[in-house]
């Protein structure tokens, strides 16, 4: 989520962002491991999930409750037209092997939104009696986790592409 200009984020808001990234990444990996049968990770998954829920709540409070946060919100959730134009530009630059923005804000906004939904479903799964009545809750939680893992990989590839582009440009100078 670092396409938000660094100078606009204070140290504490960067710490919140780091908390979101670390705890959600651990949730993705522990969720996948549970899916592969390592159910002994469930206690860790729930504890780290509660930490992820706290960091995500703080991130939303920063995004909606501070002036730099509201500016960042506009970058994370642009209008649909802006979103498609930016995605088109990014794809074109990747295919033409031109440098692209460090990290794609569209992916970052989607990541935050889907992580929020996955965490909300996770809390319902862990702390309410709803899963017994709505078995689709776990299926929804798993589907959101799959999307999140995909966005995580796209995010990583875009970051690598941007870093390699910057290195090649620095060598040419």
Q: Which residues bind ligand HEM (CB under 6 A)?
A: 24, 27-28, 31-32, 34-35, 42, 45-46, 49-50, 52-53, 115, 118-119, 122-123, 125-126, 138, 141-142, 145, 148
State the nearest-atom distance from the C-beta of 21 to ligand HEM, in Å: 11
Rounded distance, CA 36 to CA 146, Å? Answer: 13
Among residues 111 and 162, whose Cβ is nearest to ligand HEM? 111
Radius of gyration in angstroms for the set of CA atoms belonging to the chain, rounded to a whole number = 18
Per DSSP (E only), the strands in 23-111 are none
Residue 91: partners with Cβ closer than 8 Å, 6 or more residues away: none
Among residues 86 and 125, whose Cβ is nearest to ligand HEM? 125
Rounded distance, CA 32 to CA 132, Å? Answer: 22
State the nearest-atom distance from the C-beta of 101 to ligand HEM, in Å: 25
Q: What's the length of the chain?
A: 173
Encoding tokens for residue 122?
């996770």
Among residues 45 and 161, whose Cβ is nearest to ligand HEM? 45
Among residues 35 and 74, whose Cβ is nearest to ligand HEM? 35
Q: Can you say how many angstroms the Cα of residue 92 is from the centroid of all Cα atoms in its chain?
A: 23
State the nearest-atom distance from the C-beta of 59 to ligand HEM, in Å: 13
State the nearest-atom distance from the C-beta of 56 to ligand HEM, in Å: 8
Rounded distance, CA 99 to CA 97, Å? Answer: 7
State the nearest-atom distance from the C-beta of 107 to ligand HEM, in Å: 15
Q: H or E stretch including 155?
A: helix 136-172
Among residues 102 and 143, whose Cβ is nearest to ligand HEM? 143
């Amino acid at each position: 989520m670092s396409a938000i200009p660094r100078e606009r984020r204070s140290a504490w808001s960067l710490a919140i962002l780091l908390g979101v990234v670390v705890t959600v990444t651990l949730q993705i990996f522990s969720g996948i491991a549970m899916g592969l049968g390592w159910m002994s990770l469930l206690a860790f998954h729930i504890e780290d999930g509660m930490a992820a829920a706290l960091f995500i709540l703080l991130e939303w409070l920063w995004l909606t409750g501070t002036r730099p946060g509201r500016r960042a919100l506009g970058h994370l959730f642009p209008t649909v037209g802006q979103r498609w134009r930016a995605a088109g530009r990014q794809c074109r630059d990747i295919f033409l092997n031109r440098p692209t923005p460090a990290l794609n804000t569209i992916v970052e906004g989607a990541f935050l939104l889907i992580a929020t939904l996955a965490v909300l479903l996770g809390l319902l799964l862990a702390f309410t009696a709803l899963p017994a009545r709505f078995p689709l809750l776990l299926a929804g939680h798993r589907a959101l986790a799959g999307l999140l893992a995909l966005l995580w990989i796209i995010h990583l590839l875009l970051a690598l592409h941007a870093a390699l582009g910057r290195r090649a440009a620095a060598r040419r100078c």
